[in-house]
């Protein structure tokens, strides 16, 4: 069993965890980030990719609204490569709460959020897919953000400053001595290999799994899980982010993401974190509800659906407690639970991830007795090769620019060539063995219409040729990758997707007999 030493161990490789890693690294503090699966495997990778202007929260949570506004402005300035500054429209349709509509501008104004009224005709001109029944529309500052690129770039900078990232490393034990965690035992879920990490501070940024992690240190965090599902359309339906102008509810946000659009969400209370997948019922509900705002949702082709879990924390009696920085997110110092070097950060939104990281890092520094100040408010997020592959339509552009005929495409849908796969393999190898899913997470592989049916085979063959796969590991790799894709395809099986999955089954089962 390997032993590792570090100043800070961060558990959880979502936006918050990677954000903390970068924040700390910029303050000169080295850390290890251990993630039980891979970057953004939880809620950070299963959301709209929406950079909120704050308008959505003006009624329910003015404080969160203001945070969103401020953080949105900072990110647009410092991480423009991760953001598509689309602007947004809040649109109400007939039947929506008229009082909310009339109060909306003044609520926005109170939070300093821009919301410019436009007439219906103009709104229809800007976004022709809006319903004929639209009765009110406002222009807002919402934007779309690529959460994968964001987390990958955060982590990449932390790594470049001396921190490290371990994927498939699940924390299974905290060794507590004298009210302190002496070491954390990690297990590699692929190889079964165990590692002990001796860290001065442990940050629990495990998102929905924060409760489970805290439990390892015998700390109880009262958590409630809310599952939210989303669907991806095959074509981009709007230029801007479209929000339904009503009290925040289900199936009311449509966010453009490169060449596609993402629509959601649902919110379903679940008790365990075992089965997080979108269901047929959720998809059908979202489509019929969403079609009221954007009717084309009823007929457009969908590529896949996915689901994430929002961790909600009921802090009950301790209302107004200073540990609750805002109702948006929760930062817990477990000193008072008897564990001195253990901090939990959870909840919050993608938009405010930087602020959450800043507050957490501040607390870590206090614990460590270091007086370094936060730099992420001013320092731009660098663009690296690790993050660039996630951007839709990026790979074909780069490939066409080079125009090397020998550099053939392994993934046809998203046009990812041999050289791009080489680069992805290099990037993935920084934190473990490359596998299809690992490459998929860092790129657009498997995200096109074929959903991995063809590219999984071609890339696996290529990886064998490069010596990156051996024995029959490719078979399980392909199965694992396709099954992961399948969860998102399953609720959308009608029209062309059912043809697509029939072909996939004919190839993989009928011909390759991979199921036997």
Partner 1 sequence: MFFSISFKISLAIFVLGTLYRIINWFRFKIGTDALSFTMIDRIKSGVIGIFKTIFSLKIFSIIKVLILDVVLQIKIIRADKWRWIMHMCIFYGFMLLLLMHAFENQITKALFKNYASTLNPFMFLRNLFGAIVIFGVLIAVLRRKKTPKILTNAHDSFAIFLLFSIMLSGFVLEGLKIISSPIFDEMVSSYISGSDDITPLKAYWAKKFHVVFKEKININDEKLLSEGESSHIDNCASCHSMPETAFISYPFAVSFKHFGNTLNDFRVDRWLWYFHVLSCFLGLAYLPFSKFFHILSTPINLLLEPAEEEKNKVTSRIIGMDACTHCGVCTENCSVAQIYQVTQNPNILPSEKLASIKLLSRGKKVEREKLNEIAEGSFICTNCYRCTKVCPSGINLDDLWTASKNTLIQQGYFEPHNWIAQKSPSEWAETVKKKKDEPSDLIDNPEIFYGCVQCSTCASVCPVVAASNGNEIDLTPQQVMNLLRMGLKDLAMASKMVWNCTTCYMCEENCPQGIRVTDIFYELRNKAYIRFKDVKENV
Partner 2 sequence: MSRIELKCDLLVIGSGIAGMAASLFAANRGIKTIQIGKTNTLSFTSGLMDVLAVHPIEEKRLWKNPWDAIDTLKKDISGHPYSKVSKDTIEKAFKELVAFLKSADVPYANYQNKNVNIITPIGTLKPTFFVPESMLNGVSALEEKKPCLIIDFYNLKGFSALQIKETLKDKWQNLRTAQIKFLDSSKEQFAEQMAYDLEKPKNLDKLAKEISPHIKDAEILGIPAILGVKRHSSVLSKLQELLGVKVFEIPTIIPSVPGIRLKKAFEDKLQDIGVQSFYSQEVIQVFHKDDFVFDVTGAASMFKIRTKGVILSTGRFFGGGLSADREKITETIFNLEIYGPFLRKVWHELDFFAPRGHNINNCGIETDEYFHPIDKSGKVIFNNLYAVGSILAHNDWTRMKCGTGVSVATAYSAVNAFLNQKG
Distance in Å, CB of 392 to partner 1, minimum? 7
Find the binder of partner 1 among 29, 415, 420, 435 (CB under 8 A): 415
Q: Which is nearer to partner 2, 172 or 512 (CB)?
A: 512
Residue indicated by tokens 């850390």: 31
- Does 498 contact partner 1 by CB under 8 A? no
DSSP symbols for 35-77 = -SS-TT-SGGGSS--EE--SGGGTTT-HHHHHHHHHHHHHHHH
Which residues within the stretch 363-422 sit at the binding site for partner 2 (CB under 8 A)?
Answer: 405-406, 408-410
Binding mask 287-306 for partner 2 (x = CB under 8 A): x-------------------
| CA nearest neighbour of 428 among 466, 399, 398, 402 | 466
Chain centre distance of CA 38: 11
Q: Which residues pair with 9 in a beta bridge?
A: 32, 202
Distance in Å, CB of 72 to partner 2, minimum? 36
Q: Which residues pair with 344 in a beta bridge?
A: 204, 332
* Burial call 14-33: b when 16+ CB within 10 Å, e when fewer: bbbbbbbbbbbbbbebbbbb
Q: Please, what is the end-to-end C-alpha distance for the chain in angstroms?
A: 35
Q: Is 168 exposed, middle or buried (0-12, 13-18, 19+ CB in 10 A)?
A: buried
Find the binder of partner 2 among 114, 226, 279, 337 (CB under 8 A): 279
How far is it between the farthest Cα atoms of the chain? 68
Taking CB within 5 to 8 Å according to partner kind, which of partner 2, partner 1, none is near residue 330?
Answer: none
DSSP symbols for 73-98 = HHHHHH-GGGEE---EEEEEETTS-H
Q: Which is nearer to partner 2, 104 or 462 (CB)?
A: 462
Backbone angles phi, psi at 93, to 5 degrees: -115, 165
Q: Which is nearer to partner 1, 105 or 295 (CB)?
A: 295
Which residues within the stretch 432-471 sit at the binding site for partner 2 (CB under 8 A)?
Answer: 454, 457-458, 460-462, 464-465, 469-471
Taking CB within 5 to 8 Å according to partner kind, which of partner 2, partner 1, none is near residue 62?
Answer: none
Find the binder of partner 2 among 5, 281, 321, 336 (CB under 8 A): 281
Q: Residue 256: which H helix or E strand, with range?
A: strand 253-257
Q: How far apart are CA 492 and CA 301, in angstroms?
A: 9
Q: Which is nearer to partner 2, 357 or 410 (CB)?
A: 410
Find the binder of partner 2 among 77, 426, 429, 494 (CB under 8 A): 494
Angstrom CA distances, 137 to 87, 120, 209, 292, 313, stand at: 13, 7, 39, 15, 34
User: Segment contacting partner 2 (CB under 8 A): 66-74, 240-248, 320-328, 478-486?
Assistant: 478-486
Cβ proximity of 230 and 46 under 8 Å: yes
User: Segment contacting partner 1 (CB under 8 A): 218-226, 346-354, 355-363, 395-403?
Assistant: 395-403
User: Segment contacting partner 1 (CB under 8 A): 102-110, 152-160, 189-197, 401-409?
Assistant: 401-409
Distance in Å, CB of 257 to partner 1, minimum? 12
Q: How far apart are CA 437 and CA 455, in angstroms?
A: 12
Taking CB within 5 to 8 Å according to partner kind, which of partner 2, partner 1, none is near residue 403?
Answer: partner 1
Distance in Å, CB of 130 to partner 2, minimum? 23
Residue indicated by tokens 């997707």: 497
In sign, the C-alpha dihedral spanning 128, 134, 139, 145 is negative
Find the binder of partner 2 among 225, 277, 312, 396 (CB under 8 A): 277
Distance in Å, CB of 461 to partner 2, minimum? 4
Q: Which is nearer to partner 2, 20 or 463 (CB)?
A: 463
Return contacts of 158-163, CB within 8 angstroms, 24+ apart: 158/18, 158/21, 158/22, 158/24, 158/25, 158/31, 158/33, 159/430, 160/384, 161/25, 161/26, 161/30, 162/25, 162/30, 163/21, 163/24, 163/25, 163/30, 163/31, 163/32, 163/33
- What one-character DSSP code corresponds to residue 250? S
Binding mask 199-238 for partner 1 (x = CB under 8 A): -----------------------------------xxx--
- Does 514 contact partner 2 by CB under 8 A? yes
Half-sphere exposure of 424 (CA within 13 A, CB side): 27
Chain centre distance of CA 270: 19
Taking CB within 5 to 8 Å according to partner kind, which of partner 1, partner 2, none is near residue 267?
Answer: none
- Does 476 contact partner 2 by CB under 8 A? no
The footprint of partner 1 on this chain (CB under 8 A) covers a number of residues equal to: 30
Find the binder of partner 1 among 409, 420, 445, 463 (CB under 8 A): 409
Residues that bind partner 1 (CB under 8 A): 234-236, 258-259, 301, 392-393, 396-397, 400-401, 403, 405-406, 409, 412-415, 448-450, 453-454, 495-496, 499-500, 503
Residues that bind partner 2 (CB under 8 A): 277, 279-281, 284, 287, 405-406, 408-410, 454, 457-458, 460-462, 464-465, 469-472, 474-475, 478-479, 482-483, 486-487, 490, 493-495, 498-499, 501-516
């Amino acid at each position: 069993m390997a032993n590792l030493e570090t100043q800070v161990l961060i558990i959880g490789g979502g936006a918050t965890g990677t954000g903390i890693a970068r924040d700390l690294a910029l303050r000169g503090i080295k850390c290890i980030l251990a993630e039980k699966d891979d970057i953004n495997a939880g809620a950070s990778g299963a959301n709209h990719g929406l950079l909120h202007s704050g308008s959505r929260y003006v009624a329910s949570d003015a404080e969160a609204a203001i945070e969103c506004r401020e953080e949105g402005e900072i990110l647009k300035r410092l991480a423009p490569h991760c953001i598509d500054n689309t602007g947004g429209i809040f649109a109400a349709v007939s039947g929506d709460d008229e009082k909310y509509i009339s109060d909306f501008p003044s609520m926005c104004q109170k939070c300093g959020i821009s919301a410019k009224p436009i007439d219906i005709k103009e709104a229809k001109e800007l976004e022709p897919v809006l319903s004929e029944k639209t009765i009110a529309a406002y222009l807002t500052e919402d934007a779309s953000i690529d959460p994968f690129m964001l987390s990958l770039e955060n982590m990449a900078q932390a790594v470049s400053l001396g921190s490290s990232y371990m994927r498939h490393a699940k924390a299974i034990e905290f060794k507590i001595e004298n009210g302190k965690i002496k070491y954390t035992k990690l297990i590699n879920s692929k190889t079964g290999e165990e590692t002990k990490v001796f860290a001065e501070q442990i940050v629990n940024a495990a998102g929905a799994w924060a409760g489970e992690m805290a439990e390892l240190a015998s700390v109880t965090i009262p958590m409630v899980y809310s599952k939210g599902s989303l669907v991806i359309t095959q074509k981009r339906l709007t230029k801007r982010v479209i929000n339904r102008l009503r009290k925040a509810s289900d199936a009311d946000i449509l966010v453009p993401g490169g060449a596609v659009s993402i629509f959601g969400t649902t919110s379903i209370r679940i008790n365990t974190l075992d089965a997080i997948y979108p269901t047929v019922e959720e998809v059908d509900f979202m489509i019929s509800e969403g079609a009221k705002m954007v009717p084309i949702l009823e007929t457009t082709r969908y590529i896949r659906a996915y689901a994430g879990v929002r961790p909600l924390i009921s802090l009950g009696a301790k209302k107004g407690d200073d540990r609750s920085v805002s109702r948006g997110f929760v930062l817990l110092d477990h000193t008072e639970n008897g564990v001195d070097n253990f901090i939990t950060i959870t909840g919050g939104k993608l938009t405010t991830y930087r602020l959450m990281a800043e507050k957490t890092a501040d607390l870590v520094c206090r614990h460590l007795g270091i007086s370094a100040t936060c730099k992420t408010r001013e320092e731009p997020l660098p663009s690296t090769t690790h993050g660039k592959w996630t951007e839709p339509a990026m790979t074909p552009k780069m490939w066409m620019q080079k125009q090397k005929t020998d550099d053939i495409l392994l993934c046809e849908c998203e046009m990812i060539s041999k050289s791009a796969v080489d680069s992805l393999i290099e990037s993935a190898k920084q934190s473990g063995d490359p596998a299809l899913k690992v490459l998929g997470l860092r790129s657009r592989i498997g995200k096109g219409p074929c959903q991995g049916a063809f590219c999984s085979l071609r890339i696996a063959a290529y990886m064998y040729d490069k010596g990156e796969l051996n024995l029959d590991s490719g078979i399980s790799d392909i199965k694992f990758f396709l099954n992961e894709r399948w969860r998102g395809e399953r609720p959308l099986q009608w029209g062309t997707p059912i043809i697509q999955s029939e072909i996939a089954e004919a190839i993989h089962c009928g011909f390759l007999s991979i199921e036997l």
